[in-house]
Amino acid sequence: MKRKSLWLVLFFVVLFVGAAFLFGLCASFFSNFSDEPNNVFSRGNVALVLIEGEILDSQDVIDALQEARKENHIKGVLLRLNSPGGAVAPSQEILHEVERVAAKKPVVASMGSLAASGAYYIAVGATKIVANPGTVTGSIGVRMDHVEFGGLLKWARIGHETLKSGKYKDLAPLDRPMTEEERKILQDVLADIHAQFKEDVATRRKLDKRKVDELADGRIFTGRQALELGLVDELGSFSDALILVGKLAGIEGEPKLVTFEKSKLKFLERFFESVDLLTKAFHSEESSKPVLRY
């Protein structure tokens, strides 16, 4: 029985590695059809920087923002947000970089269908925020997910032992419920991160802290509600936001939008990147740790 289970696990590992290999091969093949330059903006005067999906890493967005800040022919930045939020630290890093750009040239945040939590947090660093009337935004709060498999492990008769050098080194463990003391520690961390979120919104949106406290209970708002509450500056579409960037930047005529191109990875780089992600997915000890999320 154990040998059968082992072969089953090996089969799935080989299957996933093979899929990652094929993905890297295809991505490398198709990327060769593009002759556009890498890591530079093509000719134009407004840089488009996209933030889409869950925010788990900040490097690509920071690279784009830094390039936009340094390029003299880029007169403004259109930051397009379509994201439910994500990890706290990457959101804070991106906000910091947005503010660095905004100190030198105008940045307009354009909200798509969804720009909530961490995505809204990033938007407050922009010169102006434009939302559609039906955009879902807000969700000013912090959460931490934790799954406990103690009962399942006991049912499956799987033993698990943790050796540690500090009392709280295994905070939020996988194999047992949290104690009240551990829960309080984590709740205090959440409260501090939440306070940072509220302070940043109040400061950058020039809102009364008591008003922000009332709004910052995790609830969502439509773009129209957000405008009434002072969370955004205008209602409008992507095109309206682009026109606004042009006006703020003093661009004569119609602004020309250009997109940051990430450097294309070679085949082996893509392959090993895929394998690395696969390895991390199988590393249950890391994946079981709670993550702070906006």
Supply the residues annotated as catalytic.
Answer: 117, 169
User: Side chain identity at 90, as an amino acid letter?
Assistant: P
The answer to whether the CB of 258 falls within 8 A of the CB of 46 is: yes
From CA 12, how far away is CA 293, in angstroms rounded?
31
109: helix, coil or strand?
strand
Alpha-carbon distances, residue 122 vs 70, 76, 200, 202, 209 (angstroms):
20, 17, 10, 13, 18
In Å, how far from its chain's centre is CA 185?
25
* 27 Cβ neighbours under 8 A, 6+ residues apart: 265, 267, 270
Which residues face 116 on adjacent strands? Answer: 138
* 8 Cβ neighbours under 8 A, 6+ residues apart: none
Per DSSP, the chain holds a count of helices (H) and strands (E) of: 11, 10
The answer to whether the CB of 93 falls within 8 A of the CB of 63 is: no
* Per-residue exposure over 216-237, b if at least 16 CB sit within 10 Å of its own CB, e if not: beeebbbbebbbebebbbebbe
From CA 91, how far away is CA 113, in angstroms rounded?
19
